[in-house]
Chain A
Amino acid sequence: MNRHNPALIAALALCLLLALFGSILVGSAALTAGQVAHALAGGGDDPRLVVIIREIRLPRAILGALVGASLSLSGAVLQGLLRNPLAEPGLTGTSASAGLGAVVALYFGWSATVPLALPLTAMGTAGVGTLLLLLIAGRHAGTLTLILTGVALSSLAVALTSLAMNLSPNPYALSEMVMWLLGSLHDRSFADVTLILPFAIVGWIILAATGRGLDALSLGEEAAASLGICVDRLRLWAVLGTALAVGASVAVAGSVGFVGLVVPHLLRPLVRYQPSRLLLPSAFGGAILVTVADIAVRLIPSSSEIMLGVLTSLVGIPFFLALILKLQWADR
Chain B
Amino acid sequence: MSILAAENISVSLKGRKVLTNINVVVQVGELLGLLGPNGAGKTTLLKALAGLRSCSGRTTVDGRDVASLSPDERAKRIAYLPQGTEAHWPMPVKTVVGLGRLPYQRHFAPPSEADRAAIARAMAEADIGALADRRLNALSGGELARVFLARALAVEAPVLLADEPVTHLDPGHQLAVLDVLARRASDGDAVVVVLHDLGLAARYCHRVCVLDNGHLVAEGTPDQVLDDALLDRVYGIRAARGIHDGHAFLLPWEVSAR
Q: Is B176 an interface residue (CB 8 A)?
A: no
Q: Which residue of A lies closest to B69 (CB)?
A: A228
What is the distance, in angstroms, from B27's C-beta to the closest C-beta of chain A? 22
Binds A, one of B95-103, B120-128, B198-206, B238-246: B95-103
With a cutoff of 8 Å between Cβ atoms, the chain A residues found around residue B75 in the complex are 226-228
Which chain A residues (205-255) contact chain B, with CB distance < 8 Å?
Answer: 208-209, 211-212, 215-220, 222-223, 225-230
Q: A212-B105, A219-B86, A273-B92 are in contact. List 5 more A-B contacts (CB 8 A).
A: A2-B108, A2-B110, A219-B82, A219-B96, A229-B71
Q: Is B253 at the interface (CB under 8 A from chain A)?
A: no
A215 to B98, CA, bound (A): 10
Interface flag for B52 (CB, 8 Å): yes
From the candidates B91, B105, B155, name the one contacting A274 in the complex (CB within 8 A): B91
| B52 with A273: CB separation less than 8 A | no
Mark out the residues of chain B between 105 and 139 whose CB falls within 8 Å of any chain A CB in the assembled complex. Answer: 105, 107-111, 135
The reply to whether B90 and A273 contact each other, CB–CB distance below 8 Å, is: yes
Select from chain A the residue with minimum beta-carbon distance to B94: A272
Residues of B within 8 A of A275 (CB): 89
Partner of B78, one of A216, A226, A229: A226
- Secondary structure at chain A's binding surface: helix, strand, loop or mixed? loop
Name which residue of chain A comes closest to B80, CB basis: A226
Does B151 make an interface contact (CB < 8 A)? yes
Residue ID in chain B nearest A85 by CB atoms: B89
By a CB distance below 8 angstroms, the chain B residues around A225 are 52, 71
Residue in contact with B95 in the complex, picked from A212, A220, A274, CB distance below 8 Å: A274
Which residues 138-160 of A sit at the B interface, judged by CB distance below 8 A? none
Which residues in A have some Cβ–Cβ distance to B below 8 Å? Answer: 1-3, 83, 208-209, 211-212, 215-220, 222-223, 225-230, 268, 272-275
Which residue of chain B has the shortest Cβ distance to A215 in the bound complex?
A: B99
State the main secondary structure of chain B at its contact with A.
mixed
Chain A residues closer than 8 Å to B91, beta-carbon distance: 218, 272-274
What is the size category of the interface that chain B forms with chain A? 35 or more
Mask, B50-87, CB within 8 Å of A = 1, is 10100000000000000000111111101111100011
Collect the chain A residues with CB atoms within 8 Å of residue B173's CB: none
Task: Give A3 to B91 CA distance when docked, in angstroms.
Answer: 14
Is B258 in contact with chain A by the CB < 8 A criterion? no
Shortest beta-carbon distance from B110 to chain A in Å: 6
Could you list 19 A-B pairs, sorted by A, with CB under 8 Å?
Answer: A1-B95, A1-B98, A2-B108, A3-B111, A212-B102, A216-B102, A219-B148, A220-B88, A223-B80, A226-B75, A226-B78, A226-B80, A227-B155, A229-B71, A272-B95, A273-B92, A273-B135, A274-B89, A275-B89
Query: Contact at B107–A212, with CB atoms within 8 Å?
Result: yes
Interface status of B47 (Cβ within 8 A of chain A)? yes
- Nearest neighbor of A210 in chain B, beta-carbon distance: B107
Assess whether B151 is in contact with A272, with CB atoms less than 8 Å apart.
Answer: no
Distance A1 CA – B107 CA, assembled complex (angstroms): 8
Within 8 Å CB of A211, what residues of B?
107-108
